[in-house]
Structure 1
Amino acid sequence: MVDCIIKNWQGEETGQATLELKVAKEENAAHIVHRALVRQRTNGRQGTASSKTRSEVRGGGRKPWRQKGTGRARAGSNRSPLWRGGGVIFGPKPRDFNIKMNRKERRLALRTAFQSRSEDLVIVENFAAQFTKPKTKELVLALSRWGVEQGKTIILILPDIPDNVYLSARNVPCLKLLRADSLNIYDLLVAEKIIATPEALSKIQEVYSD
């Protein structure tokens, strides 16, 4: 269980929130988080790299010269991998890089990663009402009031993403918006600061509790 300080729009402390998630045992935590991270990064690969073998390269149907009597090495096609313009030996072909991982293990890794970042977690009161229209400058000023330095990699976790908040945040460098029910382990580990609302925190504990 971790206690987090709640800040308001002005950056003043207004209360405390509790983060309580079922996490992996200390001796297994690094291993399971690493597996989940490798799975996410690997599953993101398209696997569409492809090269042509000698049978797929256009041309090469005619024997370049007769078998004997020329003094040159015998050749059956000018699309041999030994020739310029020929096929590729053991080149890449489309493949599936996906790694499987049980749903419970993925959830456990995500909870473990999230709770391990508790020192970099900033809880702020719901501020959607502050944005009656898109205003990037207001959001940047709010981030500084919440103690987040400019240039830091930040993820902002909300239960839902209002249009005005999205439009205000999309031009802020190094800031990424995430829904509380759509977290991923890579963003949690890469972010230098994590900002969430109490509602988002409750949703995280509800969605990822099992």
Structure 2
Amino acid sequence: MTKFLPNIDKKRKMSILHKAVTVELNQNHQCTAKTKTRKDVKGGGAKPRPQKGSGKARIGSLSSPLCRGGGVIFGPQNKKKELKINKKERKLAFKILLMNKKKDIYYLQNNFCNFQEPKTQNFIQQIKELKLKFILNTNKNILILLDHQNIILLKSIANISNIIVLSVKEINLQIILKADTILISFSAFKYLKKRYNV
């Protein structure tokens, strides 16, 4: 990853990255909470008591937020605030993040884990051959990126909790941020290079 990054100071880079991650989180947010306002509460049509003479405060409806069982003031309304980011900014955010992670990226041959049956032992053996044994003795998050999803590899690492295998087309900024070490095949890196110009 030696491509030239635009001449942007560190503060601006972090600002772009923060914006991109915030937009991503916003897009994944379900936004299902909703409360009833006074217009949604059933009943409350009749005036509960006369305007004057009771000695109490005047009240027009039992659906008022001041009454028990009435509506809620300023509660969540199941509306999502749509945040947007330009394509160029998003690409730049990916580039900044990958450049920051370059010390933790290791490259794999395209035939990585090309074995016939899913066995954890086969995966461990291949990792040892590549002199990447350190990823087996750590609790850090390991991300393996391939050009396509590998079912045999997925089954082989099913009982290793800190390793995730993904196709390079499935990644987003959050996944890369959470990864402490990234193993990427050359074909997957070629895809990243073409898409994000890293």
TM-score of the superposed pair, with normalisation by structure 2 = 0.83
Q: Is the 8 A contact 1:140 1:172 kept in 2?
A: no
Greater strand proportion = 1
1:157 deviates by 0.5
Is 1:88–2:75 an aligned residue pair? Answer: no
1:169 counterpart (148, 157, 174): 157
Note the residue ranges of structure 2 that are not aligned, 5 or more in a row: none
Which residue of the partner structure matches residue 117 of structure 1? 101
1:129 counterpart (114, 117, 131): 114
Look up the SS of the partner of 2:21 in the other structure.
helix
Which residue of the partner structure matches residue 155 of structure 1? 143
Note the residue ranges of structure 1 that are not aligned, 5 or more in a row: 1-18
Which residue of the partner structure matches residue 10 of structure 1? none
Q: CA–CA distance in 2 between the matches of 1:207 and 1:138?
A: 32
Q: Is the 8 A contact 1:43 1:97 kept in 2?
A: no
Consecutive aligned runs of 4 or more in structure 1 exceeding 4 Å deviation: 140-145
1:87–1:141 distance in 2 versus 1, CA, 3 Å: farther
2:83 counterpart (99, 106, 115): 99
Q: CA–CA distance in 2 between the matches of 1:186 and 1:24?
A: 23
What RMSD in Å do the two structures reach over aligned CA positions?
2.3
Which residue of the partner structure matches residue 25 of structure 1? 7
Q: Is the 8 A contact 2:113 2:126 kept in 1?
A: no
1:203 deviates by 2.0
Percent identity, aligned pairs only? 31
1:87 deviates by 0.3
2:177 counterpart (189, 203, 207): 189
Q: CA–CA distance in 2 between the matches of 1:73 and 1:187?
A: 56
2:18 counterpart (34, 51, 64): 34
Q: Is the 8 A contact 1:122 1:195 kept in 2?
A: yes
1:60 deviates by 1.7
1:56 deviates by 0.4
1:22 deviates by 4.6
Q: Is the 8 A contact 1:22 1:108 kept in 2?
A: no
Moved more, 190-199 or 165-174: 165-174
Q: CA–CA distance in 2 between the matches of 1:137 and 1:24?
A: 44
1:64 counterpart (34, 48, 68): 48
Q: Deviations over 1:29-57 (max 9, x none)?
A: 32322221222122222233211111101
Which residue of the partner structure matches residue 197 of structure 2? 209
Q: CA–CA distance in 2 between the matches of 1:82 and 1:159?
A: 59
Q: CA–CA distance in 2 between the matches of 1:162 and 1:49?
A: 38
1:170 deviates by 4.1
Look up the SS of the partner of 1:202 in the other structure.
helix
Greater helix proportion = 2
Is 1:200–2:188 an aligned residue pair? Answer: yes
Look up the SS of the partner of 1:194 in the other structure.
strand
